Amino acid sequence: DDVGWKTSLNFLNGAMECDWNERYQTNGGDMVDLGAVCDWWEDQGMDWRRITKIWIPWEHKLAGSLPPEIRHLTHLKSVSMAYQNITGDIPPGVCSLTKLEELSLSNNYVTGRLPKCMKNMKELRILAMDDNLL
């Protein structure tokens, strides 16, 4: 069954954004975070956490469109959501993600055209959009 943003990996559950994930043990025994992954940094004696990666493996079958609110995650470096059931257009707000290095949405149902402003995303090194409806 497909799951939406609210039920997959604790997204939008009222917790802090850096808690929108689940711990998972790989076949090699390593522990990894699935969902929102945050980096810590310190500024003026305070610790901060910022979402820098969203990784959702194929077995989660996340359904729905990329929310326009993704534009607020300005510290994102990597979005990897291949083999989901992501639909609709890429929201133009993705161009606000100036630190984004990887956008992997292969094997989904993304439609339309890529936002023209994406050509200005200087850090974007990996754009994987194969097997969509573009």
pTM of the model: 0.79
Q: What is the CATH number of domain 17-128?
A: 3.80.10.10
Q: For residue 126, list its beta bridge partners.
A: 102
Average pLDDT over residues 64-89: 93
Which of 134, 95, 93 lies closest to 118 in space, CA to CA?
A: 95
Average pLDDT over residues 26-52: 74
- Give residue 12's pLDDT: 58
Tell me whether residue 84 is exposed, middle or buried, using C-beta atoms within 10 angstroms of its C-beta: 0 to 12, 13 to 18, 19 or more.
Answer: buried
Q: Domain limits of the chain?
A: 17-128
% of the chain at pLDDT higher than 90: 53
91 pLDDT more than 80: yes
Please write the tens of the pLDDT for every residue from 118-129: 999 999 999 999
